[in-house]
Amino acid sequence: MRILYFAWLRERLNRGEEEVSPPSEVATVADLIDWLAASDEAFALAVEKRSLIKAAVDAKLVAHTAPIAGAKVVALFPPMTGG
């Protein structure tokens, strides 16, 4: 699965994307964030306030409780503003 990072999350991690193979027990967006944070200190610090992180699974905005089984792309990003 490909993980995409946007805005200040991308800047803090110094990467825009990465390929990962989470274990089967990683079933939701929240599980994925926890799994990534457990193995990457920079990621853990960047997502310390998890409620600020928004997610999309295969280009559809989802809650952190959304399943990721079969997902090709998960995008993580901070809240957006428009004008």
Find the mean pLDDT for residues 36-57: 95
Neighbours of 20 (CB within 10 A): 13
Q: Residue 38 pLDDT more than 80?
A: yes
Residue 9 Ramachandran class (φ > 0 left, ψ -120 to 50 alpha, else beta): alpha
Q: Please determine, for residue 48, whether its predicted confidence score (pLDDT) is greater than 80.
A: yes
Angle, CA 60 vertex, CA 55 and CA 61 arms, to 5°: 40
69: number of CA atoms within 13 Å, CB side? 4
Residues with Cβ < 8 Å from 42, sequence gap 6 or more? Answer: 12, 13, 14
Question: To which CATH superfamily is domain 2-77 assigned?
Answer: Beta-grasp domain (3.10.20.30)
Q: What pLDDT does residue 82 have? A: 56
